[in-house]
Amino acid sequence: MTARDEILARIGRAVAGAPDVEIPRGYRTTQQAGDLVELFAERVGDYRAIVHVIPEADVPGRIDELAGSRRMIVPDGFDRAGGWADLGTADGVITGCAVAIAETGTIVLDHGPGQGTRAQTLVPDRHLCVVRAGQIVAGVPEAVARLDPSRPLTWISGPSATSDIELNRVEGVHGPRTLEVIIST
């Protein structure tokens, strides 16, 4: 008997006669949309990320300003000319995102056009992410519903951090130590 068959048979024996259960979904799946931009900005800020809320027209200028002379990776599909290519020596990366969650201050990348590969958003020490106001949803259920499970997904809530020393959160371990979020309105 293969391990697969044996495990499946054991499970069949173990649960024989056990009743099935209904799943109550009384939790919030859609929320009263308050000011999502404000809530998202506040919650991202709680993680000690840097937040800019600016009109869409000012975004390119602000990116230039923030990038300065840094060697920033600009992934395929991101609307900006030029950019550093080498992962090992880049200072940072500029991306968009797939969706953002106000309640938890989370950005989700599906690594589609303009969002870079998983490595590109991880290895450089600085991540500058542009979130369009329309991409912000209220809570986790709305975000899960919008995402495509067949794509690799990276959920980001603030800069890299650890709570491993005395359960106190400190920012900056292996991922980008600076997370800067531009919310374009």
Partner 1 sequence: MSATFLGMPGNFPENASEAVQNSQLRYNLRKATSTIRGKRAGVVAELPDWQDLRAAGKAIKDHTLRNLDRYLVMMEEAVTRAGGTVHWARDAAEANRIVTGLVQATGEREVVKVKSMATQEIGLNEALAEHGIEAYETDLAELIVQLGDDFPSHILVPAIHRNRSEIREIFLDKMPKVPENLTDDPSALAEAARLHLRERFLRSKVAISGANFMVAETGTLVVLESEGNGRMCLTLPETLISVVGIEKLLPAWRDLEVFLQLLPRSSTGERMNPYTSMWTGAVEGQAFHLVLLDNGRTDVLADEVGRQALRCIRCSACLNVCPVYERAGGHAYGSVYPGPIGAILTPQLRGMSSELDASLPFASSLCGACYDVCPVAIDIPEVLVDLRSKAPHPAAERAGMKVAGWILNDHVRLAQAQRLAGRLRGLVPKRLPGPASAWTDTRDLPEIPAESFRDWWERGGRDDRA
Candidate list 103, 132, 133, 146; residue touching partner 1; CB under 8 A: 103
User: Rounded distance, CA 65 to CA 68, Å?
Assistant: 5
Contact between 71 and partner 1 per CB under 8 A: no
Contact between 37 and partner 1 per CB under 8 A: no
Give the residue with the Cβ less far from partner 1, 57 or 165.
165
Are 131 and 182 contacting, i.e. CB atoms less than 8 angstroms apart? Answer: yes
Ordered DSSP codes for 117-143: -TTTTTSSSEEEEEEEGGGEESSHHHH
Q: What residues numbered 151-180 form the site for partner 1, per CB under 8 A?
A: 151-176
Contact between 24 and partner 1 per CB under 8 A: yes
User: Rounded distance, CA 120 to CA 73, Å?
Assistant: 8
User: Rounded distance, CA 69 to CA 42, Å?
Assistant: 29
Contact between 57 and partner 1 per CB under 8 A: no
Residue 132 CB, shortest distance to partner 1, in Å, is: 20
Candidate list 41, 90, 94, 101; residue touching partner 1; CB under 8 A: 101
